Amino acid sequence: MSEDRSTNGQGGKSWLDRITQAFSDEPRDRDDLLVLLKSAEDSQVLDSEALGIIEGAMAVSDMQVRDIMIPRPQMVVIDSTLTPQQFLPEMIDASHSRFPVIGESPDEVIGILLAKDLLPFLLRESIDSINIQDLLRPATFVPESKRLNTLLGEFRATRSHMAVVVDEYGGIAGLITIEDVLEQIVGEIEDEYDAEEEDTPIKQIEDNAYIVKALTEIEDFNDYFNAHLDDDEFDTVGGIVTHCFGHLPQRDEQVDFEGFRFKVLNADNRRIRLLQVSRLQVPS
């Protein structure tokens, strides 16, 4: 009996004893809980991946749809007035499975078109005989302020995968998918389309506006823009931009340096994902 007590003394406590003692003093707030969980990782009770998932799940309860939604300018939508022959090339190029369909104006989303709903008609009918209105599924609309954990519960309950985000005036602000929410918990989920996109990390959208993936190598950025960003300390554009902010920025934050303006278009609780870049002085 005395031997059991000695092996469980302060110097020889098992991990279970230490965790039990830690939990005997209940965490007073979320910070205390995170410290406790980090201690569990240090003691190898939790691995780093499990801790990351827990932290992600906790962060989701504090985040709103506006924090991670796909902004309206980046949405790929189908105009209901177009024929399938006109909109099919855009669908194929985007490689998405779901597309918002708009009516007379960009703020009028009349439904969601699933690519799989279109395929049977393409196999057995002429393309021009398809009425897109007959294929639409109801669109789900959510406000920018909705909490992500609440939205995830609604996605599960309704078996929906996409929601259209509206602003306080009823206009379309963007869209969000169940994958966007899950990525906040488990990290980025890459598919075969993501792999294909890696070949084009920089895309020009206007005369002086470019969409740049945060994982773009600084060397590639410099080559594209004939720029001189320092790559001694950081490998990616996202890394050097985060350093310039001095904190992990949120969507719409921007910073100017080295002759460029970097605006955050998409970021999660771990890193920047997408940037809009413009030159501060356009070469004549």
3-state secondary structure 183-209: HHHHCCCCCHHHHHHCCCCEEEEECCE
Report how far apart, in Å, the C-alpha atoms of 283 and of each of 8, 209, 221, 266 are: 72, 14, 17, 28
Residue 86, SS3 per DSSP: helix
Q: Which of 29-33, 91-95, 97-101 has the highest mean pLDDT?
A: 97-101
Cα torsion at 181, 184, 188, 193 (round to 10°)? Answer: 20
Q: Which residue has the higher pLDDT, 281 or 198?
A: 281
**What pLDDT does residue 154 have?**
92
Fold of 200-279: 3.30.465
CA 32/CA 40 separation, integer angstroms: 12
DSSP bridge pairs for 267: 272
- When pLDDT is averaged across residues 41-66 and rounded to a whole number, the result is 77
Q: How confident is the model at residue 112 (pLDDT cuts 50, 70, 90)?
A: very high
Indicate if the pLDDT at residue 5 is higher than 70: no
Packing angle of the helix pair 218-225, 237-245 (nearest 10 deg)? 90
Indicate if the pLDDT at residue 166 is higher than 90: yes
- When pLDDT is averaged across residues 72-91 and rounded to a whole number, the result is 86
Closest CA to 164 of 196, 136, 201, 134: 136
- Strand 141-143 to 162-166 pairing: parallel
**What pLDDT does residue 44 have?**
74
CA 245/CA 234 separation, integer angstroms: 14
CATH for 66-186, options being 3.40.50.1110, 3.10.580.10, 3.10.20.30, 3.60.20.10: 3.10.580.10
DSSP bridge pairs for 100: 112
- Buried b / exposed e over 73-83, threshold 16 CB at 10 Å, is eebebbebeee
Laid out side by side, the sheet with 202-206 consists of 202-206, 209-213, 272-279, 260-267, 254-257
Mean pLDDT of the chain: 80
Indicate if the pLDDT at residue 218 is higher than 90: yes
Q: How confident is the model at residue 283 (pLDDT cuts 50, 70, 90)?
A: low
Indicate if the pLDDT at residue 28 is higher than 70: no
**What pLDDT does residue 262 have?**
95
CA 52/CA 44 separation, integer angstroms: 14
CA 20/CA 275 separation, integer angstroms: 45
Q: Where do the structural domains in the chain lie, given as residue ranges?
A: 2-46, 66-186, 200-279
Closest CA to 262 of 198, 212, 202, 201: 212
Closest CA to 154 of 169, 164, 140, 168: 140
The dihedrals phi and psi of 210, each to the nearest 5 degrees, come to -135, 145
96, 81 in Cβ contact below 8 A?
Answer: no
Token pair 């993936």 is found at 213
**What pLDDT does residue 100 have?**
95
The secondary structure of 16-33 as a DSSP string is: HHHHHHHHHS--SSHHHH
As given in the structure block, the two tokens for residue 238 are 């996202």
Per CATH, 66-186 and 200-279 having the same topology is answered no
Burial class (CB in 10 A: 0-12, 13-18, 19+), 9: exposed
